[in-house]
Amino acid sequence: MTGHIATVAGVAVDTRHWIGGRRVASAATFTDVSPIDGSVLAEIARGTAVEADAAVAAAKAAFPAWAATSREERARLLHAIADGVEKRLEDLAIVETHDNGALLRSHRRGVMPRVAHNFRFFADWLLDLGHDDFETRGHTNHVSWDPAGPCVLITPWNAPLMLATWKVAPALAAGNTVVLKPAEWSPLTASLLADIAAAAGLPDGVLNVVQGLGAEIGDALTSHNDVRRISFTGSVPTAARIAASAAPALTPLSLELGGKSPLLVFADADLDLAVDLAVEQYDNAGQVCLAATRLLVEESVAEEFTRRFVAKASGIRQGDPRDEATGIGPNIHERQVAKIDGFVQRALASGARAVLGGGPNAELGGLYYRPTLLTDVAQDSEIVQEEVFGPVLTLQTFTNEDEAVALANDTRFGLAATVATGDRERAERVTARLVAGTVWVNCFFVRDLQAPFGGSRQSGVGREGGTWSFDFYCDLKNTVTAPTGWAGRG
């Protein structure tokens, strides 16, 4: 590392904030460590209320001109950013793999192309955004989406750039300015995004990136009176603190939070498909909010399902995420690994049985946790009720449809659910009764940006995606015009 530039596998990353179109240093820094091998990647500018105020001020100053920019020009610039992402796709993939430990092949083939798609989708959706005028007793109603103002976007570490741009793209498309605060465990690609946006010609102050610890900079952002929208993805406790911070100013919130999603496997399902879906829940070392970590399997096929699952999951290669052959990499941080193992060891001490895994990978050391499946777990146990956010699944059985639905809905969460069945009518009955923002039937993780996304219960507040994103990032206005009176005074 030289000065404010960190070199990550040959890619230069500026470690300072991006505020008002220029790089800004802080008096202090925090250390960013790679989960792959524990090596220090960078010393990152550690923002405080000072940098938070500066970023919000820059966003506020840039807002009037950006809000007045035509839809066509905003869309053009979003496409230009997407072009920049595609040109630097390899750099982004390499840096993010080193920063959060997710598979390099996934970043190359799926995640970073999705980052570019986020910008293109919302640019195109903006140009078609509208509502047909309608009449009320001869009066014309016209609905419009007006830019709201500066937005604070707080993003997680498990898919840093993809989830950041899921928020940044619609916020910018809507005509808002943005202050992006990435997670302190994986901040590097947010800094690269600032470079890409600037190179694309985005005006100064329209996108700002501030880094730091949530406890030191977060409240200054979320309590700021000049902020008009806050979008957060993360944990329930942090969301509660953000909501309390935003309450005095009545700042609207969009919260995408945790999950404890079920995978319901009925006896009439294609068991090979069901096993594939279940093993897929280990994706990203289990660090996926949507993951169906509770396997609910009909009793008559549970033994065969478990046998096939263990056989398939045992074949997953764990190791360096930069290796094309690796199927599961490390977890993000030593604190996260300790949390995961704490859940598992307490479950085992309470009578659960590990039919797969059950602890860290002793051969690899570091932050590598073995894919784990626990059986003999009680419905009211911690391991069934609380989000682990690691490669840990539980398996329970049911005897009929009603019991399956009751078990599936018996948590405080409601983010997603997956159903495996060969009976279309059963699928319709069961999905209608499940409490979840997204339900997949005989598939998993198929997401279209035009669909609403969010959670029920403590899995979140609000929906984003397609027009729902613009509904959140805008002030909706209805203008009612009388049919007469245009002649004025005689």
Task: Tell me whether residue 289 is one of the annotated catalytic residues.
Answer: yes
Please state, in angstroms and rounded to a whole number, the distance separating the CA atoms of residues 261 and 439: 10
Please state, in angstroms and rounded to a whole number, the distance separating the CA atoms of residues 372 and 383: 12
Q: What angle do CA 253, 333, 89 make, to 5 degrees?
A: 70
Beta bridge partners of 31: 43
Task: Tell me whether residue 256 is one of the annotated catalytic residues.
Answer: yes
Which member of 96, 151, 289, 474 is catalytic?
289
Q: Phi and psi dihedrals of 35, rounded to 5?
A: -70, -10
Burial class (CB in 10 A: 0-12, 13-18, 19+), 452: middle
Q: Phi and psi dihedrals of 416, rounded to 5?
A: -155, 170
Where are any strands of DSSP class E within 351-415? 353-356, 372-375, 392-398
Please state, in angstroms and rounded to a whole number, the distance separating the CA atoms of residues 331 and 334: 8
* Cα 129 from chain centre: 24
Beta bridge partners of 11: 8
In this structure, the number of other CB atoms found within 10 A of the CB of residue 131 comes to 13
Which member of 51, 184, 256, 298 is catalytic?
256
Using alpha carbons, list the distances in angstroms from residue 10 to 41, 323, 358, 382, 458: 12, 17, 37, 44, 42
Helix axes 466-473, 160-173, angle to 10 degrees: 70
Please state, in angstroms and rounded to a whole number, the distance separating the CA atoms of residues 256 and 233: 5
Give the residue numbers annotated as catalytic, written as ranges.
256, 289
